[in-house]
Structure 1
Amino acid sequence: MKNIKIDEFKNFKFLGNLHLANDEKNLFYTVSNMNLEKNSYEHRIYKMNLETKKSFMLTNGAKESSFIELFDGNLLFVSDRENKNEKEDITKFYKICPCGGEAFLDFTVPALVNDIKQISDNEFLLLANFNRQKELEKLEKELKDKEEKPKEKLYDDSKDYLVATEIPFWNNAVGFTNEDRNRLYYFNKETMELTALTDDITDVYSLELNDDFTKAVFVSNSYTGKMPLVSDVNILDISLKTFETIAKEMSFSYANFIDNKNVIAMATDMKEYGLNENNNIYLINTENKEIQKIVNDNFDMCMNNSVGSDVRLTSGKHTFVKNGFLYFTNTEVNSAYIYKIDKNGNIEKLNEKQGSIDCFDVNSKGIVYAVALKDNNLQEIYKIENLSENRISFHNDEKYTLSEVEELRFENDGIGFIGYVMKPVDFDPNKKYPGILHVHGGPKTVFGKVFHHEMQFFANNGYFVFFTNPRGSDGRGKMFADIRGKYGEIDFDDLMKFTDKVIENYPNVDENNLAIMGGSYGGFMTNWAIGHTNRFKAACSQRSIANMTTEFLLTDIGYYFIDDQISATPWSNYEKLWYHSPVRYANKVKTPTIFIHSDEDYRCWIPEGIQMFSALKYHDVPARLVMFKGENHELSRSGKPLHRIRRIKEIFDWFENYLK
């Protein structure tokens, strides 16, 4: 049995993009791993024979992070086997036979493709990046090149400046996105025809095809100046290359054909609980455009997987239509499960075991194959049939010394909660141990009993780790998740009551040596906690929020997220924003705190950490600010491997210094 080390994730395999072959005899999926020498991740496509349950590596280019299956059974994926690193915006598609052999370049698209759907042997629908500013600059350059007499330069065109004309003008994990749009295109690989089907101000997502590949349904929104929160559902006639809108003025997250006349869609009108409003499922008649809600109001769940973990890397299918059903994942309390629903609203839960379903596919008999986190194990593939779940892959078969996650129930304000406690590995009942309160992000996410490297590392190094899902969390309905205008109040109270309960029930936790840590919303709560209590001897605040006004004005989602969640803007109620800003209470902080931020995190931008750090240093509180270059909001989950190691080392060293 191995101990969980600070860099143990270098040995983990990350699974994703699970796809059941059209003949239902094989599974295809990606396996990713870290390469510490190159400080990067490698991705490969694997194939599993469902009769023998044997898997083998299909590609070895180390860049195959996603793929689709073509009509002829071959796999199509994006890569660059020639390593030419062209500067132009192009996407190279390679084809490989699932029987094995070498992949070869099939075609190249003169655009950066984000999604691809095959509609005939040679024809495809694409979603690709388009930027109006760049296209105008190309046109200007072409006109200048045609001029006989060059004109004197009136500006520096070396591109060392950026121009913003809309909000958001940047996006976490993407970068500067001003006037970027995900545009819908038709592409013919034989003729190389590339035709734009939507205009240059329309953003498109959730592209799906009907059974005979004559129509497509897609979700979009069109805007200039400020991105709206509502979207449209559109039907494309592929042969005519024209589309019509069949639903609008709601926030649609997914739409697909469930039969020849109806589209099934996930959406919310955000009227009752704002951004906390859970999705409903609607049936849209494509002929008369009537919309009917088909889910009972008693089904008050998020219809998504919001279970937190740091041992995922790629994604995969988790919402799709097949066999006349809409399949989706749903978070309940601390776990994500699989559901299916037909067009009449008949809903069925397909598994019962706690954990996380990360992606899945279904065969014609209703048997489910899923990449999942189960039983405190790393990701593996499971076969789910008649509610039973059997592991069929063994990519992560190393045995580790793990701390079991124990449940601890408590009450606050008459509400029942479930908390979780991990004892130190090699726990000695005669010793006292420091404890770490870990707060999840979101806040509309959950912690559960799934494998979490960071937590297991601390448990392997002599710490109690405890965590819960306070009000504001997912999995218990929209009313429980609604803390609009209450940030730092009822949620903070829940966390403190839970900490009291842990100390009461686990006498080996040294209440004089406690730490608090968290990222994103957890970073906000860490900043808030150190300004409202001195019970913590150390703290680690990551990708945090310090000032609701700057978070509103400087970040990619701030203008709508803060308005909704704090119920105020700088003009409608500045004092309320300031009241809910942790930096307001920095003069009361006594807790030594380390702040960790990434310089390309536009979700909780680096000035948030700088403000709290500067405020603590001004008041002579021990503080350390660690800023990672080239990283974004996902540092702890998908940052460069060496940065992830350094991040945990910084936290560990800080806690070791102040708690031990």
Structure 2
Amino acid sequence: MKDIKIDELKNFKFLGNLHLSRDEKNLFYTVSNANLEKNSYEHRIYKMDIATKSTNIFTNGAKESSFIELLDGSILFSSDREGKDNKKEETKFYKISPLGGEAVLYFTIDATVNSIKQINEDEFLVLAKFNRQKELEKIEKENKKDKENSKNLYDDSKDYLVATEIPFWNNAVGFTNEDRSRLYYFNKKTNEFKPVTDDITDVYDVNLNSSKTLAVFISNSYTGKMPLVSEINLYDVKKKTVFNLTKGLAFAYCNFLDENTLITVATDMKEYGINENSNIYTIDLKDKNLKKIVNDNFDMCLCNSVGTDVRLTSGKSMFVKNGYLYFVNTEVNSSYIYRIDKNGLLEKLNEKSGSIDCFDVSNSGKIYAVALKDYSLQEIYDISSKETRITFHNNEEYSLSNIEEVNFENDAIGFIGYVMKPVNYDPNKKYPAVLHVHGGPKTVFGKVFHHEMQFLANNGYFVFFTNPRGSDGRGKMFADIRGKYGEIDFNDLMKFTDEVIKKYPAVDSERLAIMGGSYGGFMTNWAIGHTDRFKAACSQRSISNMTSEFLTTDIGYYFIDDQISATPWSNYDKMWYHSPLRYANKVKTPTLFIHSDEDYRCSLPEGIQMFSALKYHNVPARLVIFKGENHELSRSGRPMHRIRRLKEIFDWFENYLK
């Protein structure tokens, strides 16, 4: 058995984008790996022959992170193999035969393409980045009589940023003022590239019917402030016209169930706010009637909320096949595959716990999935055949700490907690222990592989975690902690900590630590201001001040309004009450703060404020800022940055707990 090292991610393979070929003979998927020397990730397309289960590298450019299958069975992917001109906004698409061989440049689109759908041999629908502000500047430049002065004015725009709306930046993207994901029609033969939607409309998803005559897409149009509700529109491929079907809900998905029926996932957010679980509807294209096909007790999140740090890319987790909507749903601590038909008949399709990260389905209903099962890293499983593992990309045998369950109650509610003993555990010894708090808060921890946790367990720590109120997987009432941040959720975590100390005598109650990121960072900040039981803490990408979080981040203006049930103008006292910064003068716990300078979800000032407050009050504190990283540092940050981050955490705990 191999010990899990701090740099173990260099040996991990990350799988995603699973696709069953149209002839159902092959599985195509991406495999990614960390390249420490280049401090980046490499992405390749792999192919599996389903009959023989043989797997081979299909592309080797190391930049192929996504792809689609064309109507002729070829694979289309974007890459910059010939070297990208950084001054030119373009996307190059390459085509490769399903039999393999050399990929050839198929076409180039003069835009940054987000996704592409094929209509026929020559025609495509494209979602591409468009910026209204930049387009107006270009037009202004072209219309100026004094070309030289105009050129200087336009070129100098790289030295400043102009904001005219909120959000004006987005995490993992950057400054996005007036950016839109615009729908375009593209003809490969004529090179026609024409917008379908206007310049203030954001398009989130587009799907074609089986006859390729209609496309449905979700969008919203706005200036000034992005709304939370959206609309569903149809595009007539032949007439090249758009007409609206319905609006006023927060639509998450829409596709053709058949030629006359759409199926869509949406919520009105009226009962439980932005985290309210969605309902499933059909839309009859003849009368445009929106019909709910689930009963009033339906309470599923319709997504995978299981957290881990060994998932890099994504893939299909909701799609239509043969008259069914297939989707993933999180239940307690795992995610499972379901399907539903137009009459609302709901079926659960697998039973084994774990995390379904993406999947695809054959015409006969056979399911293949990229999943985390049995404490293993990502692999492909034949879900229809006893959930059998059929790939072996991550075949190393590690010294793992098995996850034990601890049942406990708080406020007459039952919870499941999870405890990882130190590897080579000796019941006669005392060990330090780390309470790990997940982000969200509407996500879950489960019994899956987590590098960070296993590394700590491999180095002599108990690691314990649970899913307090506010978490996903137990329905909308359980997930609803609006206006209660730091109250019932904190109490759940402290009761769990008491239970762990009680049931595991080897846990040294004088050597406890707490850590977490995002909401988990908020909770870490909150905890150190409300208890002295933790001798060390690590707060990552956190929230410390609800007012600054509201006013400076990409989601703050609606997330804080909804989750705290207040704004700086409606109830400032409540905003301050739920801000960990308010209690910073009570903190005694030595705390490490980790933040990224391009985190626009929980922006850098959140970490700085709490760090500065602790230093002001003479509490040991350290702030580590990662340049060029964002809110996803721990999951998809540059490999060497992820290693340094984990080293900072480990060194801090070693210093204060051992």
Band of TM-score, shorter chain: over 0.9
Take 1:596 and 1:92, find their aligned partners in 2: how far apart are those partners?
A: 37
Letter of the aligned partner of 1:398 in structure 2? E
Residue 134 of structure 2 aligns with which residue? 134
Residue 195 of structure 2 aligns with which residue? 196
Residue 363 of structure 1 aligns with which residue? 362
Query: Cα gap change, 1:58/1:292 in structure 2, threshold over 3 Å: closer, same or farther?
Result: same
Letter of the aligned partner of 1:13 in structure 2? K
Q: Which secondary structure state, in structure 2, belongs to the residue aligned with residue 607 of structure 1? A: helix
Query: Cα gap change, 1:252/1:152 in structure 2, threshold over 3 Å: closer, same or farther?
Result: closer
Letter of the aligned partner of 1:543 in structure 2? R
Residue 212 of structure 2 aligns with which residue? 213
Residue 608 of structure 2 aligns with which residue? 610
* Structure 1 residue 223, shift from structure 2 partner: 0.2
Task: Report matched runs for 1:141-220 at 5 Å.
Answer: 141-144=141-144, 147=146, 157-220=156-219
Residue 486 of structure 1 aligns with which residue? 484
Task: Report matched runs for 1:61-72 at 5 Å.
Answer: 61-72=61-72
Residue 93 of structure 2 aligns with which residue? 93
Letter of the aligned partner of 1:501 in structure 2? E
Name the stretch that deviates more: 258-267 or 455-464.
258-267
Residue 463 of structure 2 aligns with which residue? 465
Residue 634 of structure 2 aligns with which residue? 636
Query: Cα gap change, 1:151/1:552 in structure 2, threshold over 3 Å: closer, same or farther?
Result: closer
Task: Report matched runs for 1:15-414 at 5 Å.
Answer: 15-144=15-144, 147=146, 157-385=156-384, 388-414=386-412
Take 1:158 and 1:258, find their aligned partners in 2: how far apart are those partners?
A: 47
Task: Tell whether the 8 Å contact from 1:300 to 1:477 is kept in structure 2 after alignment.
Answer: yes
Query: Cα gap change, 1:241/1:497 in structure 2, threshold over 3 Å: closer, same or farther?
Result: same
Task: Tell whether the 8 Å contact from 2:141 to 2:154 is kept in structure 1 after alignment.
Answer: no
What whole-Å deviation, never above 9, does each CA across 1:240-275 have from its counterpart, x for those lacking one? 111111111000000001011111000000000001
* Structure 1 residue 143, shift from structure 2 partner: 2.1
Task: Tell whether the 8 Å contact from 2:137 to 2:154 is kept in structure 1 after alignment.
Answer: no
Q: Which secondary structure state, in structure 2, belongs to the residue aligned with residue 408 of structure 1? A: strand
TM-score w.r.t. structure 1 length?
Answer: 0.99
Residue 592 of structure 2 aligns with which residue? 594
Take 2:89 and 2:620, find their aligned partners in 1: how far apart are those partners?
A: 47
Give the number of aligned pairs. Answer: 658
Q: Which secondary structure state, in structure 2, belongs to the residue aligned with residue 654 of structure 1? A: helix
Q: Which secondary structure state, in structure 2, belongs to the residue aligned with residue 492 of structure 1? A: helix
Residue 534 of structure 1 aligns with which residue? 532
Query: Cα gap change, 1:92/1:590 in structure 2, threshold over 3 Å: closer, same or farther?
Result: same
Take 2:214 and 2:38, find their aligned partners in 1: how far apart are those partners?
A: 44
Q: Which secondary structure state, in structure 1, belongs to the residue aligned with residue 141 of structure 2? A: helix
* Structure 1 residue 233, shift from structure 2 partner: 0.6
Query: Cα gap change, 1:558/1:151 in structure 2, threshold over 3 Å: closer, same or farther?
Result: closer
Residue 542 of structure 2 aligns with which residue? 544
Q: Which secondary structure state, in structure 1, belongs to the residue aligned with residue 538 of structure 2? A: strand
Task: Tell whether the 8 Å contact from 1:569 to 1:577 is kept in structure 2 after alignment.
Answer: yes
What whole-Å deviation, never above 9, does each CA across 1:369-414 have from its counterpart, x for those lacking one? 000000000000000116x210000000000000000010000000
What whole-Å deviation, never above 9, does each CA across 1:170-215 have from its counterpart, x for those lacking one? 0000000000000000000110000100000000012111001010
Task: Tell whether the 8 Å contact from 2:514 to 2:536 is kept in structure 1 after alignment.
Answer: yes
Take 1:154 and 1:18, find their aligned partners in 2: how far apart are those partners?
A: 47
* Structure 1 residue 84, shift from structure 2 partner: 3.8
* Structure 1 residue 285, shift from structure 2 partner: 1.3
Take 2:288 and 2:480, find their aligned partners in 1: how far apart are those partners?
A: 32
* Structure 1 residue 159, shift from structure 2 partner: 1.7
Letter of the aligned partner of 2:26 in structure 1? N
Letter of the aligned partner of 1:426 in structure 2? N
Which blocks of at least 5 consecutive residues in structure 2 are unaligned? none
Letter of the aligned partner of 1:16 in structure 2? G
Residue 472 of structure 2 aligns with which residue? 474
Take 2:149 and 2:50, find their aligned partners in 1: how far apart are those partners?
A: 66
Residue 649 of structure 2 aligns with which residue? 651
* Structure 1 residue 152, shift from structure 2 partner: 11
Task: Tell whether the 8 Å contact from 1:182 to 1:202 is kept in structure 2 after alignment.
Answer: yes
Task: Tell whether the 8 Å contact from 1:570 to 1:577 is kept in structure 2 after alignment.
Answer: yes
Query: Cα gap change, 1:561/1:507 in structure 2, threshold over 3 Å: closer, same or farther?
Result: same
Take 1:619 and 1:522, find their aligned partners in 2: how far apart are those partners?
A: 23
Query: Cα gap change, 1:112/1:148 in structure 2, threshold over 3 Å: closer, same or farther?
Result: closer
Letter of the aligned partner of 1:52 in structure 2? T
* Structure 1 residue 63, shift from structure 2 partner: 0.2
Task: Tell whether the 8 Å contact from 1:125 to 1:187 is kept in structure 2 after alignment.
Answer: yes
Task: Tell whether the 8 Å contact from 1:247 to 1:284 is kept in structure 2 after alignment.
Answer: no
* Structure 1 residue 154, shift from structure 2 partner: 7.4
What whole-Å deviation, never above 9, does each CA across 1:206-233 have from its counterpart, x for those lacking one? 2111001010000000000000000001
Task: Tell whether the 8 Å contact from 1:403 to 1:422 is kept in structure 2 after alignment.
Answer: yes
Query: Cα gap change, 1:150/1:579 in structure 2, threshold over 3 Å: closer, same or farther?
Result: closer
* Structure 1 residue 147, shift from structure 2 partner: 4.3
Take 1:313 and 1:104, find their aligned partners in 2: how far apart are those partners?
A: 27
- For residue 414 of structure 2, the aligned residue among 408, 413, 416 is 416
Which blocks of at least 5 consecutive residues in structure 1 are unaligned? none
Residue 8 of structure 1 aligns with which residue? 8
Task: Tell whether the 8 Å contact from 2:468 to 2:489 is kept in structure 1 after alignment.
Answer: yes
Residue 579 of structure 2 aligns with which residue? 581
Letter of the aligned partner of 1:624 in structure 2? R
Take 1:587 and 1:421, find their aligned partners in 2: how far apart are those partners?
A: 32
Take 2:393 and 2:151, find their aligned partners in 1: how far apart are those partners?
A: 62
Take 1:559 and 1:495, find their aligned partners in 2: how far apart are those partners?
A: 28
Query: Cα gap change, 1:209/1:509 in structure 2, threshold over 3 Å: closer, same or farther?
Result: same
Letter of the aligned partner of 1:132 in structure 2? R
* Structure 1 residue 85, shift from structure 2 partner: 3.2
* Structure 1 residue 356, shift from structure 2 partner: 0.3
* Structure 1 residue 287, shift from structure 2 partner: 1.9
Q: Which secondary structure state, in structure 2, belongs to the residue aligned with residue 157 of structure 1? A: helix
Task: Tell whether the 8 Å contact from 1:216 to 1:238 is kept in structure 2 after alignment.
Answer: yes
TM-score w.r.t. structure 2 length?
Answer: 0.99
Task: Tell whether the 8 Å contact from 2:529 to 2:587 is kept in structure 1 after alignment.
Answer: yes
Take 2:504 and 2:583, find their aligned partners in 1: how far apart are those partners?
A: 31
Residue 440 (1) aligns with residue 438 (2): yes
Q: Which secondary structure state, in structure 2, belongs to the residue aligned with residue 181 of structure 1? A: strand
Q: Which secondary structure state, in structure 2, belongs to the residue aligned with residue 450 of structure 1? A: coil
Q: Superposition RMSD on alpha carbons, in Å?
A: 1.2
Take 1:535 and 1:56, find their aligned partners in 2: how far apart are those partners?
A: 52
Letter of the aligned partner of 2:18 in structure 1? L
What whole-Å deviation, never above 9, does each CA across 1:26-58 have from its counterpart, x for those lacking one? 000000000000000000000000000010001
Q: Which secondary structure state, in structure 2, belongs to the residue aligned with residue 613 of structure 1? A: helix
Task: Tell whether the 8 Å contact from 1:380 to 1:395 is kept in structure 2 after alignment.
Answer: yes
Name the stretch that deviates more: 535-544 or 130-139.
130-139
Task: Tell whether the 8 Å contact from 2:141 to 2:150 is kept in structure 1 after alignment.
Answer: no
Q: Which secondary structure state, in structure 1, belongs to the residue aligned with residue 441 of structure 2? A: coil
Q: Which secondary structure state, in structure 2, belongs to the residue aligned with residue 438 of structure 1? A: strand
Take 2:151 and 2:657, find their aligned partners in 1: how far apart are those partners?
A: 65
